[in-house]
Amino acid sequence: MVSRRQLFGVAAGVGLVGAVGTPASAADAYDSLRATVVRLTTGGVFDSDDPDFRHGLDALDAAAGSYWQQLDRSSNRTALWPDLPLTATDAVNANLSLNRLRTLATAWATNGAALAANADVLAATIDGLAFVYQRRYHEAATDRVGNWWNWEIGAPRALVQTCLLVADHLPATATADYLRVLGKFVRTPDRRTNAPTVLETGANRMDKCVIVAMSGILGRDPARMTMATDGLSDVSGGGKNSIFSVRGIR
């Protein structure tokens, strides 16, 4: 996944969007930023036979291969994986399901992976995103049981990163659906969505900046991009919880 440290590479490119002067160049900037996220996630172009890369590929193949074999693709399924039922009382399985879909998408998009460019994996991943959206993780969900982190960081981060990996193949309606979900559960990196008086700090703030930035890339939304970069230094709070300050890490 894109790490907090790697966000700086993405955030550095956000200025491309603010600096462009025409719709065409804006589109190019967003395409460039999405390509950066994909490269950070998959490693880009490399020699898959190089032993320095092989260990990581083997680990990815093992995880993705297991998820692929266990994935329920039947028309009457009630969950993507038997051990992750999606119910109104479940607190974590939507997050875990989306994380497994991200692993499949990463394997599909990674040079040299066993499932790379596998059309069935791509189709199943896109279908899986729709299934989780319809069943559990959607903007109308009001039964937010369990730890807030699953709803506001774990699930949205996996969702948006998967979307960016397969963006060229996502139906426009699906992209719009997922952007609404991201806007619902990660409204801003500055505050806790389910407890707006709570100010985000440290790792939680950084994670939300990652999610907001990636959702801005997916939706080609300059306001979300600005929100992400402003969140890093806590513009709205006068820098009190800036991730660049020791005070912002507590």
Secondary structure of residue 59 in the 3-state scheme: helix
Please name each of the domains of the chain with its CATH number. 46-171 (1.50.10.100)
Compute the mean pLDDT over every residue in the chain, rounded to the nearest whole number.
89
Strand partners, 85: none
Look at the block and give the residue holding tokens 């990652």: 210
Residues whose CB falls within 8 Å of the CB of residue 208, separated by 6 or more in sequence, listed in order:
152, 153, 186, 188, 189, 200, 231
pTM as predicted:
0.90
Strands (E), 104-229: 191-192, 195-199
Q: CA-to-CA distance for 100 and 161, rounded, in angstroms?
A: 12
Would you say 21 and 224 are in contact if contact means Cβ atoms under 8 Å apart? no
pLDDT in tens, 24-68: 565 689 999 999 999 999 999 988 888 888 999 999 999 999 999
